[in-house]
Chains A and B, each alone.
Chain A
Amino acid sequence: MGSKYTADNAGGVYDVAIIGAGVCGANIARRLSQYELKVILLDKEADVSFGTSKANSGIVHGGFHHASKYLKARLEVQGALMFDRLHRELGFPFRRCGIVVAALHEDEMRVVDQLYRQGVENGVIGIEMCSRERMLELEPKLNPDTVGGLYAPAGGIVEPYRFVFSLVESAQRNGVEVRVSFKADSARREGDLWRIRAEDGSQLSARYVVNAAGLFADEVSRAFGAEEYTIRARKGEYYLLDRMTRARPDRVVFPVPTSVSKGMLVVPTVEGTVLIGPTAEMTDDKTDTATTREHLEMILGNARAMIPAVSENDVITSFAGQRPVLDEDFYIEPSKKVPAFIHVAGIQSPGLTASPAIGEYVKDLLKGEGLRLLEKPGYDPILPDRPRMFDIDHYRADALVSEDPSYGNIVCRCEKVSEAEIVAAIRAGHTTLDGIKYFTRAQMGRCQGGFCTYKILKILMRETGMGWDRITKRGGGSELLSGRL
């Protein structure tokens, strides 16, 4: 596919192969890129972040939802603290807007009280019990019937795929190889090495394997002869509202959670739109990301209960993501059955928040398993700034355009994305329409690609040399065009 992603089938030997380029795999890869190691990050999809990591709420959680006995609670709190530094180094969209949990009935305040105590016990800083007045002051768009709630000022929002992209790019700049469209199908031991074979027959070897395969971690575990377990999928459906909506809150608004789920949220995304959802429904098909009418109605109803200004007229799109469910807690440990194999499985919420800490944790597990970690002298944590027309004023824009005229060609009018930014996405390895969308936001706005899709098609063909028949939405089988006239 893209030039940045390796397509070498000769079968190199790596110190570590990470299977799954979602938010966990990406964090682990970047963490390992600080050492003198040969690391490869593998994914079965056509681009990184195309699984669970692309369709979730994008929340940096407040550390109060889970009891301290769980590994996930510890990693959540630790991971949340790591975001500021990552943001400074990598520049992905991130903002600590704060989280409020709104109670709409007096009896919900008991749960709020429990969340508060849990947060305090987890060591969360600044967490606050709130009266009705305080809640409405913090979030004036809240339903005036709110009786009280909780405020976690350090909670935040992130664009999950952009987070992954920047981690992967940083890892690549520090020597990690990335291979997409590599579906690890079978593996066997050859001396000290794992010999890994992909569905298409290509092979490679690695001394250590990290299984961060998300929804498919069970299949990968089986392929390596490691522990038997079953990952089940829980589907979450979402609605995205136009940035012009009057329903945009200042903070992430949570309902009071139930025993099964954190409930449906109203999220002011970093990019100015509003996300409402998710549902939480167990499904048998891990690839099923269809939305349903009943659930979408339910989301609107739930969101309106908290923020009455939510209107179906502001909806620009809906989507669904699947979360990998294993046990109550994360399952991050070395295999007891096979050597040099680390499970990173069952990473459901708060996986995104915990993921930087997971990177750290897995690095330590690998060290414990005998991987030698020698610091790399030239390690560079900083990603160069990538200008976006959306963010800059006319004078800065003028300077950019005089350097590179393609910054002046606005391809996506809704999200103000220039040709230069599309080209940058393609050169970073994002060679599907969805990859370009998640990287640049082109096609993500109110027209949903109605005006810009054909322009992006042409740029993609020009930049990659691919023919029209190889242009896909998100990899093989999702071809866009079916003929030439």
Chain B
Amino acid sequence: MRELTYDAAVIGGGAAGMAAALEIRAAGLSCVVLEREEHLGGILLQCVHNGFGLIEFDEELSGPEFAERMEERFRASGAEAYLGVTVMDVEDQGERKILFGYSAEHGILRVSVRAVVLAMGCRERNRGNIRIPGARPAGVYTAGLAQRLVNMEGYLPGKDVVIIGSGDIGLIMARRMSWAGARVHGVVEILPYPSGLTRNIVQCLHDFGIPLYLSHLTTGIFGENRVESVEIAPIEDGAVRFEKAFRIPCDTVLLSVGLVPENELSKKMGVELNPMTNGPWTDSMMMTNVPGVFAAGNVLHVHDLVDYVAEEARRAGAACARWIRGGRPGRELRVKAGPNVRYAAPCRVSPESPNKLYLRTLIAKNDAVLEVRLDNRVIQSRKKPHVQPSEMISVTLEPKDLAGAGPDSAVEIAIL
């Protein structure tokens, strides 16, 4: 068993992991990234479309370009990466954390560190999670798996496609499958509004004439050996109209029905999760309830844009470095998700330093108002021309906003 010792380890070498490692190195500490794939970059590598990097690099990049730029910075920082290493276990020995990474090349690595940043990303929800009944033929893929097959492996998973769920990966794949010569017969969404970004609805569906069935429930997948059709039924006034169900013939179903932060390893370590995000509860330093364990990116909560992931992970990396040097959060205020807010991350803020939070609304609304209250006093109020659950919202709270907070004060964020 090979023994390694660093100040910090980052689990996952996607955008979040690299960004966190950069900041840890920038603070002069040693850092290793453990990545289970053979390349850094994570899921970015299969996202060959544009739309990344407008914030982080000030230009529009494809996923692999974003990953490459990030990796250049990462390499220049002197942080180390072990590739093809799956972290199977983390032992919390108080002052030190011991990570066990499995690898064909290196054998079993035993990595001893003072702090860990969780950056494992998320996984796709699948058919079982949303309980679509029917047969179990070949030809049912999650959209991300199909994206991998098409963009990285060079295979076409099918020719006549129905996409269930209007998440961004599904929308992107509607366009990608059309480009690859497949016919996309529709995107089915249970909600009355799309789950993906508006720009993707326009660029990936409208531009290709692909129908979007809003307020439709998928009531079955059919086919003996390979998918033959998908049955959907409209939802009217909150009730599924099964008698109006109809079948769309197809040979392939792609599922884009949401992402779940991948926290099995975190849970094993005793990290507590927020049921609203399925990601860890974190304090103003992005630290979980386990001292010395930090979290950022999609493992913390699912983001829409990699630029936000990178920004958040930089903060986590910097905080991790501060923590190793003895920095502690000090006084903190609790953050509550108020009316129409699903969650805000992190869930603690510091009245002594600037805080950035990301949040998601529960509602789709025009002319909304974002309101931040300290106890019952409004400390920020911003007009939002349009909000919807698929578009993440950011809020910055400065020390001046939080002046006058008492020991039991709480910050509440609402969308009105």
Residues of A bordering B, CB below 8 Å: 240, 244, 287-293, 296, 312, 315-319, 389, 394-395, 397-398, 401-402, 405-410, 413-414, 416, 418-419, 446-451, 453-454, 457-458, 468, 472-485
Name the one of A312, A419, A483 contacting B155, with C-beta atoms under 8 angstroms.
Answer: A483
Q: Given the complex, which residues of A lie within 8 Å of B86, measured CB to CB?
A: 410, 413
Which residues of B have CB within 8 Å of A480?
138-139, 157
CB <8 Å contact, A289 and B135? yes
Instruction: Decide yes or no: A408 and B105 within 8 Å by CB, A413-B36, A485-B156 being known contacts.
Output: yes
A485 engages B154 (CB within 8 Å)? yes
A480 (CB) vs chain B CBs: closest residue: B138
The complex places the Cα of A480 from the Cα of B123 at a distance, in Å, of: 21
**Ordered nearest first, which 8 A-B pairs have the shortest CB separation?**
A477-B225, A317-B128, A483-B156, A473-B138, A478-B138, A410-B86, A398-B108, A409-B104
CA distance A364 to B200 in the complex (A): 68
B339 within 8 A of A: no
With contacts A289-B136, A291-B133, A454-B153 known, is A485 near B128, CB below 8 A?
Answer: no
Which residues of chain B are near A398, meaning CB under 8 Å?
A: 1, 107-108
Q: How far is the CB of A255 from chain B (nearest CB, A)?
A: 22
Q: Which of B157-196 contact A (CB under 8 A)?
A: 157-159, 180-181
Residue pair B138, A482 in contact (C-beta under 8 Å) = no
Q: Tell whether B14 is near chain A: CB-to-CB under 8 Å.
A: no
In the bound complex, how far is the Cα of B145 from the Cα of A276, in angstroms?
A: 28
Q: Is the CB of B88 within 8 A of A481?
A: no
Name the A residues within 8 Å of B84 (CB-CB): 409
Q: Which residues of B contact A (CB under 8 A)?
A: 1, 36, 84, 86, 88-89, 100, 102-108, 110, 123-124, 126-129, 131, 133-139, 141-142, 144-145, 148-150, 152-159, 180-181, 219-220, 222, 224-226, 251-252, 264, 267
Q: How many A-B residue pairs have CB under 8 A?
A: 151
- Shortest Cβ distance from B275 into A: residue: A313
A454 touches B104 (CB 8 A): no
Q: Is the CB of A405 within 8 A of B149?
A: no
Q: Which residue of B lies closest to A397 (CB)?
A: B108
Give Cα A289 to B222, complex, Å.
10
Contacts of A318 in B (CB 8 A): 128, 131, 133
Q: A450 is contacted by which of B126, B136, B225 (Cβ under 8 Å)?
A: B126
Nearest chain-A residue to B142 (Cβ)? A450
Complex CA–CA separation, A397 to B2 (angstroms): 12
| Contacts A477-B224, A480-B138, A482-B159 known; 10 new A-B pairs at CB < 8 A | A289-B136, A312-B131, A317-B128, A405-B107, A408-B105, A409-B84, A410-B36, A473-B225, A481-B149, A485-B156
Contacting residues, chain B, for A453 (C-beta < 8 A): 141, 145
Contacts of A240 in B (CB 8 A): 128
Distance of A402 Cα from B104 Cα, bound (Å): 9
10 contacts between A and B (CB under 8 A): A290-B222, A296-B133, A315-B131, A409-B102, A416-B88, A458-B153, A473-B225, A480-B139, A483-B156, A484-B156
A395 in contact with B1 given A290-B135, A410-B88, A454-B148 (CB within 8 Å): yes
A316 touching B145, Cβ below 8 Å:
no
User: What distance in Å separates the Cβ of A35 from its nearest Cβ neighbour in chain B?
Assistant: 38
Given known pairs A398-B108, A416-B88, the reply for A408 and B102 (CB within 8 Å) is yes
What chain B residues lie within 8 Å of A409 (beta carbons)?
Answer: 84, 102-104
In contact, A292 and B133 (Cβ under 8 angstroms): yes
Contact yes or no, A481 B157, CB < 8 A:
yes
CB distance from A421 to the nearest CB of B (A): 13
